[in-house]
């Protein structure tokens, strides 16, 4: 019995070009697949014009209203003259486009390089930009997009891995360790009952930041959600020794607090949020394992060695959760 093909297998070069042509553009046949796994993203050549970036959304992940909330957030940021890459609108003013069974969005191509997170000037500028972004994000909430919570990122991830992926020889160690981790994380989140959740980028790593002309440019808001401000800040800190991370944090917050207030209690969330991301990342790979691109791109996943190293990393993270929180120098 043959398995049904994955929806993304439909995205042949001819299909992609036809989809873009159907939006009123004249493609020139050039297609470059970009580094994206959750969705499929391509640079597509346009006759006598700058190429476009075409993003085909993963079927079933977001609803139309959730995608449009992401787009609207980007437009709000652009209106405040923040450098974000916003979706193009067609002649009907639509940013979410459709072609056969796919939803897609088109973006202008923007160049740049990853910021240098060891450069104090870059950290200050990133904090400066995030402060402005979070000021917009705090103005009103998302209604349709999810909240970063302990269930979706933590408990649900652990349940999936333990049930369907963790080798039997490691399962009990994994479950015991993750119970201790989640207890620590819960304690951190309950230190204050008035934690502020705002609209954030949600996946603020170096690959989604472009540095050009001494300005930080933010791309790919696909993981935007309601979360503490710290979710966008902690990923700017390296995993170097504590003193260096505190110096980085000082530079980031120096720029950030020019435009947004920072609740110092959120320093207690740095390691809990890092831990939740680690748990969620493994579960994300597991949930996408039937997508043919994932076994090809992540061949080391779901091996005995991978799970052994994952448990070791989580043990190190348990130690990090027991360390004093970072100080603002």
Residues comprising the binding site for Mg(2+)?
A: 208, 220
Which of 187, 149, 165, 167 lies closest to 318, judged by CA? 187
| CA dist., res. 118 & res. 241, Å (int) | 13
- 291 as an active site residue: the answer is no
The upper half-sphere exposure of residue 158, i.e. CA atoms within 13 Å in the direction of its Cβ, equals 20
d(C-alpha 112, C-alpha 209), whole Å:
8
89 closest CA partner among 101, 79, 97: 97
Does residue 203 carry a catalytic annotation?
Answer: yes
HSE (CB half, 13 Å, CA atoms) of 236?
33
Distance CA 38, CA 47 (A): 29
Out of 203, 222, 232, 291, which one is annotated catalytic? 203
Give the total residue count for the chain. 329
Catalytic residue among 220, 222, 223, 291: 220
Q: Which residues are annotated as a binding site?
A: 208, 220
| Residue whose entry in the numeric block shows the structure tokens 């049930």 | 163
Which of the residues are catalytic? 203, 220
């Amino acid at each position: 019995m043959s398995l049904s093909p994955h929806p993304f297998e439909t995205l042949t070069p001819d299909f992609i070009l036809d989809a873009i042509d159907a939006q009123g553009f004249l493609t020139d046949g050039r297609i470059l697949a970009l580094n994206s796994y959750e969705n499929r993203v391509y640079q597509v050549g346009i006759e006598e014009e700058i190429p476009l970036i075409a993003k085909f959304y993963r079927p079933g992940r977001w609803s139309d209203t959730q995608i449009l909330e992401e787009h609207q957030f980007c437009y709000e940021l652009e209106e405040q003259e923040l450098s974000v890459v916003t979706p193009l609108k067609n002649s009907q003013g639509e940013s979410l486009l459709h072609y056969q069974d796919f939803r897609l969005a088109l973006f202008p191509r923007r160049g740049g390089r990853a910021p240098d997170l060891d450069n104090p000037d870059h950290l200050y500028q990133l904090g400066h930009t995030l402060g402005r972004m979070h000021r917009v994000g705090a103005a009103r909430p998302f209604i349709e997009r999810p909240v970063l919570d302990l269930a979706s990122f933590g408990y649900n991830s652990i349940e999936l891995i333990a049930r369907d992926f963790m080798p039997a020889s490691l399962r009990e160690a994994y479950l015991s360790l993750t119970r201790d981790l989640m207890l620590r994380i819960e304690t951190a989140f309950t230190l204050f009952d008035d934690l502020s959740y705002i609209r954030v980028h949600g996946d603020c790593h170096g690959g989604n930041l472009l540095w050009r002309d001494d300005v930080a440019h933010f791309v790919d808001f696909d993981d935007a959600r309601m979360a503490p401000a710290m979710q966008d800040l902690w990923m700017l800190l390296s995993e170097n020794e504590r003193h260096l991370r505190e110096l980085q944090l000082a530079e980031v917050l120096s720029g950030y607090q020019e435009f947004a207030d920072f609740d110092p209690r959120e320093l207690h969330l740095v390691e809990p949020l890092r831990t939740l991301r680690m748990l969620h990342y493994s579960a994300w790979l597991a949930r996408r394992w039937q997508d043919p691109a994932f076994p090809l791109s992540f061949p080391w996943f779901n091996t005995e060695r991978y799970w052994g190293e994952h448990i070791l990393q989580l043990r190190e993270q348990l130690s990090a959760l027991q360390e004093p929180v970072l100080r603002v120098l």
